Amino acid sequence: MDQNLTDNPINLIEKTIIGCIFSSPKLVEETYVKEEYFTNSYNKMVFNLIIQYYQKHKNLDVTLFWQENNDSLGNNFIIYLEDIMSTIATTTIFNDYQDKLFEIYRNNLIIRYVDKFSKKEIKQEQLFDYLEKIKNMSSNIKYDYLSEEEIYHIITKEDKQIKFRLTSLSNTIRISEHDFVVIGARPGVGKTGFALNLLEDISKNYKCLYFNMEMSEQQILRRLISINSRVPMNDLINPSSNQESLLKQAVKDISSRKLKIFTGVQTNDSIKNTIIRESKESHVVVFIDYIGLIAGFPNKSPYERTTNIVKDLRQQSLNFDCTIIGLAQLNRNSDKEDAPTYRDFKDSGEYEQSAVSAILLHNENADKKIEKRVEDLEIIVAKNRNGRTGHISATYDQNNQQIFEKAKYY
DSSP states of 74-132:
-TTHHHHHHHHHTT-S-GGGHHHHHHHHHHHHHHHHHHHHHHHHHTTSS-HHHHHHHHH
Q: Is 295 left (phi over 0), alpha (psi -120 to 50) or beta?
A: beta
Contact by Cβ (8 Å): 329, 290: yes
Q: Write the burial class of residue 136 (CB in 10 Å: 0-12 exposed, 13-18 middle, 19+ buried).
A: middle
Residues 376 and 168 sit within 8 Å (Cβ to Cβ): no
332 and 390: one domain?
A: yes
Single out the residue in 114, 130, 154 at which a domain terminates: 154
In a domain, 205, yes or no: yes
CATH code, 71:
1.10.860.10
Domain assignment of residue 295, yes or no: yes
Amino acid 87: pLDDT: 63
In a domain, 226, yes or no: yes
Query: Which pLDDT score is estimated for 29?
Result: 84
On whether both 77 and 50 belong to a single domain, the answer is yes
Supply φ then ψ for residue 331, to 5 degrees: -65, 145
Rg (CA), the chain: 25
Beta-bridge mates of residue 287 = 210, 325
Strand partners, 402: 397
Question: What is the reported pTM?
Answer: 0.64
Backbone angles phi, psi at 390, to 5 degrees: 160, 180
- Predicted pLDDT of residue 89: 54
Give backbone dihedrals phi and psi of 130, rounded to 5 degrees, phi first: -65, -45
Q: pLDDT tens per residue, the chain (410 residues)?
A: 444 445 578 888 999 899 999 988 888 888 888 899 999 999 999 999 999 999 898 889 888 998 899 889 988 888 888 888 776 656 667 888 888 999 999 899 999 999 999 999 998 888 887 887 787 666 544 445 667 777 777 677 667 889 999 999 999 999 999 999 999 998 888 999 999 999 999 999 999 999 999 999 999 999 999 999 999 999 999 999 899 999 999 999 999 999 999 999 898 888 988 998 888 888 999 999 989 999 877 778 888 889 989 999 998 898 888 999 999 998 876 455 678 877 788 878 888 889 999 999 998 766 555 556 778 899 999 999 988 999 999 999 989 999 999 866 65
Residue 162 lies in a domain: no
Same domain? 105 vs 211: no
pLDDT of residue 1: 43
Determine how β-strand 284-289 pairs with β-strand 402-409.
unpaired
User: What's the rounded Cα separation, in Å, for the pair 206 and 35?
Assistant: 28
Give the CATH number for residue 291.
3.40.50.300
Asked if 127 contacts 50 with a C-beta cutoff of 8 angstroms, the reply is no
On whether both 277 and 316 belong to a single domain, the answer is yes
In a domain, 256, yes or no: yes
Cα→Cα distances 268→212, 293, 328, Å: 13, 11, 15
Same domain, 339 and 372: yes
**Is residue 98 located within the same domain as residue 143?**
yes
Helices (H), 256-337: 268-278, 302-319
161 in any annotated domain: no
What residue numbers bound the domain in which 330 lies? 167-409
Q: For the chain, what is the domain count?
A: 2
Based on the domain organization, do 185 and 143 belong to the same domain?
no
Q: Are residues 245 and 112 in the same domain?
A: no
Are 116 and 197 members of one domain? Answer: no
Q: What is the pLDDT of residue 334?
A: 43
* Bond from prior residue into 290 cis (ω within 30 degrees of 0): yes
CB–CB of 20/94 below 8 Å? yes
- Check residue 141 and give its pLDDT: 40
**What does the pLDDT read at residue 314?**
92
- Does one domain contain both 249 and 190? yes
Q: Identify the domain boundary among 94, 119, 154.
A: 154
Q: Give the neighbor-by-neighbor strand order of the sheet with 207-212.
A: 259-263, 207-212, 284-289, 322-329, 180-185, 357-362, 374-384, 390-397, 402-409
**Residue 159 covered by a domain:** no
- Asked which of 106, 132, 154 is the last residue of a domain, the reply is 154
**Of 80, 43, 41, 50, which Cα lies nearest the Cα of 68?**
50
The answer to whether residues 91 and 7 belong to one domain is yes
Q: Based on the domain organization, do 140 and 195 belong to the same domain?
A: no
